[in-house]
Structure 1
């Protein structure tokens, strides 16, 4: 009875609830990795096996040797990183300006930026294709980076505004008294204080480009320029029966995102906490 009473205490109920939520969310990833290393005799066993004693990593070898997975991964890294850097650079300057300088229509401008982000990508992808075709940006890293940045900047700027608002203006005023100009005070005083928020927003901006399928499908026609979401979709259509190969590709696509969240979680927590303080 004492054990039952202990388990019904709020902290134990909360811990059990968290464990259940974590297990439910991690199980699909576990099953994906498990399927990628299962031998053929265990793939469709009935009842299904939730572990294997004979892991087979042949699907990963076939994925690397018989497909252009490494090329597609390189494309995704270059495009996602470039789009993130451009989005954060522009949105950080915009968020800083909106929080430090007041001008007529500033609130309307900020709201308009948020509305721009609410447009569905399918609405702009066709005219964007025509524009990029005329500018020669189809099948280029620069074109893809600009396309993702066009959606990443409004998103990033809106999220960064609370972080810059939470930084006391008195810190900059003290820097001005010490002889710093606006640029130096922003670079040496404001940006270091906003680093947790910038890292948090960078993660989400990176995922925006890393996981996108629509823009990559429309703006890329060269096979060697494909990104991972497009390659994964094409691999599914070409390998309907090769589930270990497909699951191996899906696991490798998901792994960097999982590792990034695990490594940067302290910055994410600090960033969102700092952004909530005004």
Structure 2
């Protein structure tokens, strides 16, 4: 059905309004990061600041603990992403290709684990890490983030594996490849978009997590960047310029990672929607 010119204008206008609505907080964050402290505390909503400064970024960079917390965040985030991808691929392939007793029940458990609120698992995770002697150690966060991201990874990659024709594996096995060789040479390369899509979700989930990092890590030198951001608020007040600049710096690794994989992410999200 063809839309009239008035309908197209109305839809485009609505799209622009929604885009501006969701983009405005990010724009305000960026502009506030470059504003002088005096301009941040005024009641005026200056959408186009007249004065700019890099003092907030210098303050955030020189604040104690930035590089250490950045290193901790990268260790637990990258580690959790890699573990979830390896385990997710190894679990998704048999769930998509093989038929065995208990398969549907296992898939149901994966779906339930994916739907469970992260906060509901806090006390069991805390007691588990306490009994294992991993509290106040980075491996505890890595294992928690791995457990949080794994159900989504398994469920999503299973859909991608189902979208790959089984005839391609059969052709490879006819040519002399074994089951594992066919998986490695045929299925795994075609899973690229799915691996990218799930890795972005896992990265953002682990990178932004705050509650577990705050409670599990008692020593400040073992905490992650989200916890470090909370140190800009003290009993003497909040350093708004510093926290805005620190938030921009905090978002850069996730933004860079997203820009590197955005092309495969779009194709992966589209393909993953076809199978589930």
SS at 2:238 equivalent? coil
Tell me if 1:258 matches 2:255: yes
In structure 1, C-alpha distance between the alignment counterparts of 2:258 and 2:274, rounded to whole Å: 23
Q: In the alignment, what sits opposite 2:169?
A: 172
Per the TM alignment, residue 13 of structure 1 is displaced from its structure 2 partner at its CA by: 4.1
In structure 1, C-alpha distance between the alignment counterparts of 2:181 and 2:236, rounded to whole Å: 55
- Do 1:125 and 1:218's aligned partners in 2 also have CA atoms closer than 8 Å? no
Aligned-residue CA RMSD (Å): 1.9
Per the TM alignment, residue 210 of structure 1 is displaced from its structure 2 partner at its CA by: 0.6
Q: In the alignment, what sits opposite 1:160?
A: 157
- Do 1:239 and 1:246's aligned partners in 2 also have CA atoms closer than 8 Å? no
In structure 1, C-alpha distance between the alignment counterparts of 2:246 and 2:185, rounded to whole Å: 42
- Do 1:29 and 1:251's aligned partners in 2 also have CA atoms closer than 8 Å? no
Aligned pair count reads 272
Q: In the alignment, what sits opposite 2:97?
A: 100
Per the TM alignment, residue 17 of structure 1 is displaced from its structure 2 partner at its CA by: 3.3
SS at 1:232 equivalent? helix
Tell me if 1:184 matches 2:178: no
Tell me if 1:151 matches 2:151: no
Tell me if 1:74 matches 2:66: no
Q: In the alignment, what sits opposite 1:126?
A: 123
TM-score, with normalisation over the residues of structure 1? 0.90
- Do 2:161 and 2:187's aligned partners in 1 also have CA atoms closer than 8 Å? yes
Tell me if 1:205 matches 2:187: no
What residue ranges of structure 2 are gaps of 5+ in the alignment? none
In structure 2, C-alpha distance between the alignment counterparts of 1:14 and 1:186, rounded to whole Å: 45
In structure 2, C-alpha distance between the alignment counterparts of 1:46 and 1:246, rounded to whole Å: 19
Q: In the alignment, what sits opposite 2:273?
A: 276
Per the TM alignment, residue 9 of structure 1 is displaced from its structure 2 partner at its CA by: 5.4
Q: In the alignment, what sits opposite 2:17?
A: 20
In structure 2, C-alpha distance between the alignment counterparts of 1:228 and 1:257, rounded to whole Å: 12
Per the TM alignment, residue 21 of structure 1 is displaced from its structure 2 partner at its CA by: 2.5
Closer/same/farther in 2, CA of residues 47 and 127 from structure 1, 3 Å limit: closer
What residue ranges of structure 1 are gaps of 5+ in the alignment? none
In structure 2, C-alpha distance between the alignment counterparts of 1:247 and 1:103, rounded to whole Å: 53
Closer/same/farther in 2, CA of residues 268 and 181 from structure 1, 3 Å limit: same
Per the TM alignment, residue 153 of structure 1 is displaced from its structure 2 partner at its CA by: 1.0
Tell me if 1:219 matches 2:225: no
TM-score, with normalisation over the residues of structure 2? 0.91
Per the TM alignment, residue 176 of structure 1 is displaced from its structure 2 partner at its CA by: 0.2
- Do 2:232 and 2:238's aligned partners in 1 also have CA atoms closer than 8 Å? no
Per the TM alignment, residue 171 of structure 1 is displaced from its structure 2 partner at its CA by: 0.4
SS at 1:49 equivalent? coil
**In structure 2, which of residues 252, 256, 264 is the aligned counterpart of residue 267 of structure 1?**
264
Per the TM alignment, residue 69 of structure 1 is displaced from its structure 2 partner at its CA by: 1.4
Q: In the alignment, what sits opposite 1:59?
A: 56
In structure 2, C-alpha distance between the alignment counterparts of 1:140 and 1:172, rounded to whole Å: 43
